[in-house]
C-alpha cells in the first residue's frame, strides 16, 4: 500500500514537468514550420515581396534605375580604366586586316582594349546594305559605344544613333551639320596628307608623269586625289598627274589594271588611294619597278609585309591618316566623361595626318627631299601653306 501511494505521488510530481518539456519542443517546431509555410503561401498567392525584398535600395541603385542617362553615365564611370565598358566596331566593306583603313580603325580598338581595359567586338560588312543591320545589332545588344568606319555609313549611323540615345556612337570619315548628342564624327584633312606625298612624288619622278589610283569617288578620296595633284604641282607646275576613281574599295585587280594603264602612259610614281583597291595598284607598280605611295597607314608594314614582300624597296612613303588615334581617343573620352558630338578633325597641326618614312627606299628619298617635305608639312601645320582643296 505504501509503495502504491509513493508511486502515485511521484507520477503527480512528474506530469507538469513532462508537459512543459513536450510543449517546448514539439510546439516550437510546428509553429516555425507553419509560419514559414504560411508566409510562403501568402507571397505566392498575392505576388507581394518578402520583407527582405522590400528593403530600400541604395541611393546609387535608385538613381541608376530611375534615369537611363544616369545608368549610362554610371556604366562609363564604373572604372577610370574602362573596365566593363563594351565597344563594338562596324567596318566599311572589307575586313579588319585589309592593310589600310579598316585595319587602322581596328588597331585603335585593340589599343583601347590593352590600355583602357574595355571589352571589344567587331563585325565585317560585306556590302553597304549591311551597315544598318550591323549597327543595330550592336546598339540593341550590350555595346556601350559603337564605332562605324566609312563615309558611306553616314546615313545608317545617324538613323541608329537617333534610335538609341542611351548609347554612344562615333563614325570615321563623316561629319554631320547637326548630329544627335550621342554621335561624334571623326574626319581628317586627307588633302594635307596627300599634299605632302604629292610633294615627294614630284621630287622623285624622273618622267614628269605620276599617277593616283583612287577608290570610290567620295569626299575623303577626292581630297586625297586633289591634294596629291596640288602638292605635286606646287613643286613642278608642269608635272602631269593621272588619276582614276574605281567604284570599289575591295577590288585589287581593278586597282592593278588602273596602275598598269598609268604606267603605260609614262607614270613612274603611283599613289594608291583606295584601300585594298589602291593597294592592288601599288603592288603591281612596285613589282614593275615603279615607285609607289601607300595610304591611311604605313603600307610598308601591311601590304609590303615589313619589307619581305616583293617591291618593298619601291615604297617611298604612305599618306598617313591616324584613324587608330581617333578611334582610341573617342573611347577614352567616353570613359573620362568627355564624349561630345563635336567633330574631331585630324590635321597636320594635331598629328591626325602625316607621311611615313621611306624605309628600304631611303636612298631614293634623299635628305634634301625629306627636308623639303618636312618644310611643307610644317607650312601645312602652321597655316602658311594651303592645299587649295575644299
Which triple of cell numbers denotes residue 185?
564624327
pLDDT at 372 over 50: yes
**How far apart, in Å, are the Cα atoms of 268 and each of 159, 279, 307?**
45, 16, 20
Q: What is the pLDDT of residue 83?
A: 72
Residue-level pLDDT at 65: 28
Average confidence (pLDDT) over 116-137? 98
Q: What is the pLDDT of residue 27?
A: 36
More confident residue, 36 or 261: 261
Residues 199-229: b if buried by 16+ CB within 10 A, e if exposed: bbbbbbbeeebbbbbbbbebebbbbbbbbbb
All domains in the chain, ordered by first residue: 76-188 (3.40.50.2300), 190-321+357-382 (3.40.50.2300)
Maximum alpha-carbon separation in the chain: 146
The proportion of the chain whose per-residue pLDDT surpasses 90, expressed as a percent, equals: 78
pLDDT per residue as tens digits for the range 306-362: 999 999 999 999 999 999 999 999 999 999 999 999 999 999 999 999 999 999 999
Instruction: Report the DSSP beta bridge partners of residue 273.
Output: 214
Average pLDDT over residues 222-242: 98
| Residue 224 grid cell | 586625297
Per DSSP, the residues of 345-387 read EE-TTTTSEEE---GGGTTTS-HHHHHHHHHHHHHHHHTSS--
For 39-74, what is each residue's pLDDT tens digit? 333 223 222 222 222 222 222 222 222 222 222 333
Task: Give the residues across from 183 on adjacent strands.
Answer: 169
Question: Residue 94's closest CA among 236, 253, 280, 277?
Answer: 277
The residues, ordered by sequence, that sit 6+ positions from 337 with a Cβ below 8 Å of its Cβ are 73, 76, 77
What number is the average pLDDT over the span 268-274?
Answer: 98
Confidence of residue 81 (pLDDT cuts 50, 70, 90): low
Q: How confident is the model at residue 11 (pLDDT cuts 50, 70, 90)?
A: very low
d(CA 308, CA 176): 42
Q: Which residue has the cell 599634299?
A: 195
DSSP letter at 82?
-
* Cβ within 8 Å of residue 316, ≥6 positions away: 200, 201, 204, 269, 291, 292, 293, 358, 361, 364, 365
Amino acid at each position: 500500500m505504501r509503495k502504491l501511494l509513493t508511486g502515485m505521488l511521484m507520477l503527480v510530481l512528474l506530469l507538469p514537468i513532462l508537459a512543459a518539456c513536450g510543449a517546448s519542443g514539439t510546439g516550437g517546431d510546428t509553429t516555425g514550420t507553419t509560419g514559414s509555410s504560411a508566409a510562403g503561401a501568402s507571397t505566392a498567392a498575392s505576388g507581394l515581396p518578402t520583407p527582405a525584398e522590400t528593403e530600400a535600395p541604395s541611393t546609387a541603385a535608385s538613381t541608376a534605375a530611375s534615369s537611363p542617362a544616369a545608368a549610362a553615365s554610371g556604366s562609363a564611370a564604373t572604372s577610370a580604366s574602362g573596365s566593363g565598358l563594351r565597344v563594338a566596331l562596324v567596318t566599311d566593306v572589307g575586313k579588319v586586316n585589309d592593310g589600310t583603313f579598316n585595319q587602322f580603325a581596328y588597331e585603335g580598338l585593340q589599343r583601347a582594349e590593352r590600355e583602357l581595359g574595355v571589352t571589344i567586338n567587331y563585325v565585317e560588312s560585306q556590302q553597304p546594305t549591311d551597315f544598318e543591320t550591323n549597327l543595330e545589332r550592336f546598339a540593341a545588344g550590350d555595346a556601350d559605344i559603337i564605332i562605324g568606319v566609312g563615309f558611306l555609313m553616314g546615313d545608317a549611323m545617324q538613323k541608329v544613333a537617333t534610335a538609341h540615345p542611351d548609347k554612344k556612337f562615333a563614325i570615321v570619315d563623316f561629319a554631320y551639320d547637326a548630329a544627335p548628342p550621342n554621335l561624334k564624327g571623326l574626319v581628317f584633312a586627307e588633302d594635307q596628307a596627300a599634299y605632302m606625298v604629292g610633294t615627294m612624288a614630284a621630287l622623285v619622278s624622273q618622267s614628269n608623269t605620276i599617277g593616283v589610283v583612287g577608290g570610290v569617288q567620295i569626299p575623303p578620296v577626292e581630297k586625297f586625289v586633289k591634294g596629291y595633284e596640288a602638292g605635286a604641282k606646287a613643286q613642278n607646275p608642269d608635272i602631269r598627274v593621272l588619276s582614276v576613281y574605281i567604284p570599289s574599295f575591295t577590288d585589287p585587280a581593278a586597282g592593278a589594271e588602273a596602275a598598269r594603264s598609268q604606267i603605260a602612259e609614262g607614270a613612274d610614281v603611283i599613289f594608291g588611294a583606295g584601300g585594298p583597291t589602291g593597294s592592288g595598284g601599288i603592288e603591281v607598280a612596285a613589282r614593275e619597278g615603279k615607285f609607289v605611295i601607300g595610304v591611311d597607314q604605313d603600307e610598308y608594314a601591311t601590304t609590303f609585309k615589313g619589307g619581305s614582300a616583293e617591291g618593298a624597296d619601291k615604297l617611298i612613303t604612305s599618306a598617313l591618316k591616324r584613324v587608330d588615334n581617333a578611334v582610341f581617343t573617342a573611347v577614352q573620352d567616353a570613359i573620362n566623361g568627355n564624349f561630345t558630338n563635336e567633330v574631331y578633325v585630324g590635321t597636320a597641326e594635331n598629328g591626325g595626318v602625316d607621311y611615313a618614312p621611306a624605309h628600304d627606299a631611303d636612298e631614293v628619298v634623299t635628305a634634301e627631299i625629306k627636308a623639303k617635305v618636312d618644310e611643307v608639312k610644317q607650312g601645312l601645320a602652321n597655316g602658311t601653306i594651303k592645299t587649295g582643296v575644299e
